Amino acid sequence: MPKMLVPLAEGFEEIEAITIIDVCRRGGIDVTVAGVTGMMIKGGQGIEVAADCPIDLVDINSYDMITLPGGLGGTLVLSESENVQSILKQMKDQGKYIGAICAAPLALHTADVLNNDFTCYPSIENQIRIDGYRQDQTTVIDGKVMTSQGVGTAIDFALKIVRQLQGESSFEELKESILA
């Protein structure tokens, strides 16, 4: 069973985080929620989520993917966290999958793991770079780096993660079962 790490920091976007966690678990991916700012993390809309473990106890060698939810507040914390930045670099060096949605591609850019083609929440590209920004695509897969635009694209993004980690058959079954 593939394993995915989802780090959460204060100010994360709840719909993106919960959608990614839920859809990927339904798709047979073992998802670990790691707290960056504590074990109970408050999202941008005030919803608190309990982490499975603190980020500093994560053994990245056991994960196939790391996915960062957006929300500008949470993204800024992920961008400034030495631990998260180190994990992103190690995942890239090990050829593992990396995902980010909404503002979170900014944290990938900070870690220098964002590939050429990407998408993100409109206007965040100005803080990353214009070159390679794919405004017309809701989800972009460039090698093993996956990016998506935001709340409205969260289900599509999560389904594409399932496709990458579990294959076409699992993707189609899950897509049909959730009526996406």
Spatial CB neighbours of 116, under 8 Å, sequence gap ≥ 6: 131, 132, 142
Written as six digits, the tokens of 19 are: 């959608």
Spatial CB neighbours of 177, under 8 Å, sequence gap ≥ 6: 26
Catalytic residue among 24, 53, 102, 120: 102
- Residue 102 annotated in active site: yes
- Pairwise CA distance, residues 169 & 149, whole Å: 25
Written as six digits, the tokens of 84 are: 């998260």
Spatial CB neighbours of 82, under 8 Å, sequence gap ≥ 6: none
Helix or strand run (H / E) with residue 75: helix 72-80
Spatial CB neighbours of 132, under 8 Å, sequence gap ≥ 6: 115, 116, 117, 118
Residues annotated as catalytic (active site), given as ranges: 102
